[in-house]
Structure 1
Amino acid sequence: MPVSTAARATGEPVDAARYRPALTLLASLFFMWGFITVINNTLLPHLRSVFDLSYTQTTLIESVWFIAYFFASIPAAKLIERIGYQRSMVTGLVIMAVGALLMVPAARIPSYGVTLVALFIVASGITLLQVAANPYVAVVGPPETASSRLNLVQAFNSLGTTLAPLFGGYLILGRSTSGTAGAHAAALTPAQRLADAQSVQLPYIIVAVVLVVLAIVIARFNLPAMGSATQRAAKADRRGQSLWAHRNLVFGVPAIFIYLIAEIGVSNLFINFVSQPQIGNLTHEQASHYLFLLWGGMMVGRFIGSFAMRNVAAEHVLAVAAVGACAVMLIAAFATGPVAMWALISVGLFHSIMFPTIFTLGIRGLGPLTEEGSGLLIMAIAGGSLVVVQGWLADSYGLQTSFLLTAACEVYTLFYALWGARPTHALPDRAAR
């Protein structure tokens, strides 16, 4: 995999001042891919009305998004190895811009199939950024504070996810008939469906322009080379070593996979859930404002988690978060009214530290294998594609009941924190070359 030992830092001391501009730049990338990913949360209920989709068909849109992580991770890794870190970031942003612009003809037709293709292209560009950025951040500093550091940068990802519902709520839901209608509104006419479909053109044109500008900035940025820390570990260093000997990685890959089912299921079905008469009785546009609070909780939680992990073991913080998340999801599944709505909103606070913490625990002690381990963990983000299972549960047993799947996912996260994250056959994190 790519950014090699972005995961194998050498024994040389890290000049924090030297890498601070690079981390700031990476924070902007984390912000943008978080922002674009969560626009989907306002896009999905919108498309459900435009194309008259079932919950299964609606969540299939997000499944296609996360399937891109599975198919694009290895090509992304090879591309980074071939053209380098900085050019790969620029390429990823350009790919994302192309996908965003493809949403314009998808809206004009309108076409469910073209929409799926456009979102797959955007997600492929994000995958290219993810494969490089996560392990890079994890090694710019001492291994013992890697979870704290990645949580801090991921907080800027959460800033993007926090602002996206306001952007999507205003420019997509707020400008469409389906978004401003109440739960008991009449079915849309063909003319209204066409007008609603075309309301997504402006926001995606804006996104495409921002991505191109950011790509130009990064292309001209004097990104510091990390020397051997960005080169693929020599085969001799990896000979005789097996990824499967490391329990924290073996159980970490499914932990990422399962956690993504939980996070994406909550965010994708949130607007439909709180709009129900027995829960919040809101319009989709109004519900998007509460989605802002869900993602805002993730941002706040990551700042808190980053601070807490400076003094408390990362796996202990993860265990507390898993217990809290399971508890509030059970409340959301069985309660009604504001209690159920606020329980679902609060899960963002507990989910906040899960991905970056599982990621850093998963690559702990991998030494020269960190690169390959990082690639497997990024591929596991494809777990978000199984949100379609929750869509099927919602169609078959009810939307509220489907959140029991989320609660079950939290149980596995707790198992990983208490036992699965314990490293076996740990190798030096900073093996000298």
Structure 2
Amino acid sequence: MTTATINQENSSNNSVLLPMFIIGGLFFMFGFVTWLNGSLIPFLQIACELNHTQAYLVTLVFYIAYTLMALPAARVLEKTGYKTGIVIGLFVMAIGALIFIPAAQTKLYSVFLVALFILGSGLTLLQTATNPFIVLIGRRETAAVRISIMGILNKSAGVIAPLVFTAWVLADMDQFTPEKIALLSEVDKHAQLQELSERLIFPYLLMAVSLVILAAFIKFSPLPEPNINEQNDTASSNKSIKDFPHLILGVVTLFLYVGAEVVAGDTIGLYGKEMGVQNFAQLTSYTMAFMVVAYVLGMVLIPKYISQETALKASALLGMIFTMLIILSSTTDASIWNSLFFWLDIPALPNSVLFVALLGFSNALVWPAVWPMALKDLGSYTAKGSAWLIMGISGGAIIPVIYGVLADSIDSQLAYAVMFPCYAFIAYFAIWGHKKAKL
């Protein structure tokens, strides 16, 4: 190998590492903001006195922003470029975080939902910019590995966020049990719940300040613009999304996947609370921890030992198995945890709750596998294709609410059956859907 070749490879590696480092910090922030919802749902259920269906409006308004704002986000990126678009997205998120202050002061659930929608809108712009960025900065065959690295950062934040939220906001929660609140007079109950709600003010003020600082850092960083025109441009002559059936099916796959992911991460807190788990507000961390483990395995195995397609097939199969075990397993017996994880000095989970957490393991490799498969050969259509895929994130708005309705009307354990069609379609995309030349 010549010196010129070595220098060229080193330069190429550096050109990948710098944006990965910067975008990696953004993915960590995405995860922290997104997976706070898992702890926020049981918190707001208490503070705002909500039922299951009302509580899961948190996921509805947060994730529906991805549907409503994805195509506008793509237009913003076309006009401003990816770097400026990221800065704008961070400022929008900061505004959403600041709205949590009047929401907490007034204890109005509707204002909380407005704040969450604006946070989701800012994240939509960021996700539309950063996901194709990671796919395009290196070889497509290794895109799943790069996205897995981003996933580790994202889900590591998902492990940390509920722990921070619990320590900072949910201290002394014993005084806010439904039984104790029911014994209070209306005046005392209002005062207690107001005090609980106002615990959100300082954390979200700190979040807003941090987002503004991060926006300034990105603005003056050497983050390059991805050169989409250098990619395969077979899409330049196409006029409609119908010309890319694998992209359409990829959007549906992500819709169902994100719905399944959010159900696994955001319902486990309330489900564990119903099953008597004491540290219920931290349970999202368990789901995220299993996702991190799977991401690490993905980095080791893909593409050296298994392909992205094989990883996706395995994820769908595991998802269906774990869903069945959630429904059939005991909600009181913790024998599986005590057998496998006895060496961990953390509270044990009942078997059924453990399998909800294990869905994190089955879910982890779906996102990094679907993106490069769905964006294949889009060329100059990549930005719009990315926007369509981002719209698929709205599955996180719809499917958890369906779960909530089923939990209220039937049973919170049986309600997890909503996951079966999600994993069945993921299996279809992995086996046949990504190869479709026409619908």
TM over 0.5: yes
What's 1:214 paired with? 214
**AA paired with 1:397?**
I
What's 1:340 paired with? 352
From the superposition, tell whether residues 380 and 225 of structure 1 become closer, same or farther in structure 2 (CA, over 3 Å).
closer
The structural deviation recorded for 1:176 is 4.5
User: Does the 8 A contact of 2:232 with 2:378 survive in 1?
Assistant: no
What's 1:389 paired with? 402
RMSD over aligned CA atoms reads 2.3
Equivalences for residues 189-228 of structure 1 within 5 A: 189-226=189-226, 228=227
Match of 2:242 among 241, 244, 248: 244
What's 1:364 paired with? 376
User: Does the 8 A contact of 2:73 with 2:387 survive in 1?
Assistant: no
State the alpha-carbon separation in 2 of the partners of residues 306 and 82 from structure 1: 35
The structural deviation recorded for 1:56 is 0.8
- SS of corresponding position for 1:53: coil
From the superposition, tell whether residues 230 and 209 of structure 1 become closer, same or farther in structure 2 (CA, over 3 Å).
farther
Equivalences for residues 262-411 of structure 1 within 5 A: 262-276=260-274, 279=275, 281-283=276-278, 286-311=279-304, 312-336=306-330, 337=332, 338-386=350-398, 387-411=400-424
Equivalences for residues 8-47 of structure 1 within 5 A: 15-47=12-44
Equivalences for residues 256-267 of structure 1 within 5 A: 256-267=254-265
1:166 aligns with 2:179: no
State the alpha-carbon separation in 1 of the partners of residues 418 and 355 from structure 2: 15
Equivalences for residues 68-107 of structure 1 within 5 A: 68-107=65-104
User: Does the 8 A contact of 1:175 with 1:199 survive in 2?
Assistant: no
State the alpha-carbon separation in 2 of the partners of residues 313 and 368 from structure 1: 26
The structural deviation recorded for 1:185 is 4.5
User: Does the 8 A contact of 1:171 with 1:202 survive in 2?
Assistant: no
The structural deviation recorded for 1:424 is 3.0
State the alpha-carbon separation in 2 of the partners of residues 411 and 38 from structure 1: 25
User: Does the 8 A contact of 1:329 with 1:343 survive in 2?
Assistant: yes
User: Does the 8 A contact of 1:43 with 1:172 survive in 2?
Assistant: no
The structural deviation recorded for 1:29 is 0.5
State the alpha-carbon separation in 1 of the partners of residues 264 and 151 from structure 2: 19
The structural deviation recorded for 1:408 is 2.8
User: Does the 8 A contact of 1:46 with 1:178 survive in 2?
Assistant: no
From the superposition, tell whether residues 395 and 136 of structure 1 become closer, same or farther in structure 2 (CA, over 3 Å).
same
What's 1:8 paired with? none
- Range 337-346 or range 62-71, more displaced: 337-346
**AA paired with 2:435?**
R
**AA paired with 1:323?**
L
The structural deviation recorded for 1:423 is 5.0
The structural deviation recorded for 1:254 is 0.7
State the alpha-carbon separation in 1 of the partners of residues 323 and 218 from structure 2: 40
- SS of corresponding position for 1:117: helix
State the alpha-carbon separation in 2 of the partners of residues 391 and 62 from structure 1: 11
1:151 aligns with 2:158: no
From the superposition, tell whether residues 358 and 114 of structure 1 become closer, same or farther in structure 2 (CA, over 3 Å).
same
User: Does the 8 A contact of 2:235 with 2:378 survive in 1?
Assistant: no
| Identity level (%) | 29
State the alpha-carbon separation in 1 of the partners of residues 211 and 53 from structure 2: 31
What's 2:107 paired with? 110
The structural deviation recorded for 1:242 is 4.7
The structural deviation recorded for 1:177 is 5.4
1:59 aligns with 2:56: yes
What's 1:431 paired with? none
- Range 238-247 or range 250-259, more displaced: 238-247
The structural deviation recorded for 1:127 is 0.6
The structural deviation recorded for 1:92 is 0.8
- Report the TM-score when normalising by structure 1: 0.88
From the superposition, tell whether residues 304 and 377 of structure 1 become closer, same or farther in structure 2 (CA, over 3 Å).
same
State the alpha-carbon separation in 1 of the partners of residues 319 and 217 from structure 2: 39
- SS of corresponding position for 1:258: helix
- Range 22-31 or range 239-248, more displaced: 239-248
Match of 1:132 among 129, 136, 143: 129
The structural deviation recorded for 1:225 is 3.7
From the superposition, tell whether residues 178 and 218 of structure 1 become closer, same or farther in structure 2 (CA, over 3 Å).
farther
User: Does the 8 A contact of 1:263 with 1:351 survive in 2?
Assistant: yes
From the superposition, tell whether residues 232 and 107 of structure 1 become closer, same or farther in structure 2 (CA, over 3 Å).
farther
- SS of corresponding position for 2:435: coil
The structural deviation recorded for 1:65 is 0.5
What's 1:429 paired with? none
- Range 380-389 or range 188-197, more displaced: 188-197
Q: Deviations over 1:326-360 (max 9, x none)?
A: 11111112222221121111111111111221122
State the alpha-carbon separation in 1 of the partners of residues 225 and 242 from structure 2: 31
Gaps of 5+ in 1: 1-11, 426-433
User: Does the 8 A contact of 2:228 with 2:382 survive in 1?
Assistant: no
Match of 2:428 among 391, 415, 418: 415
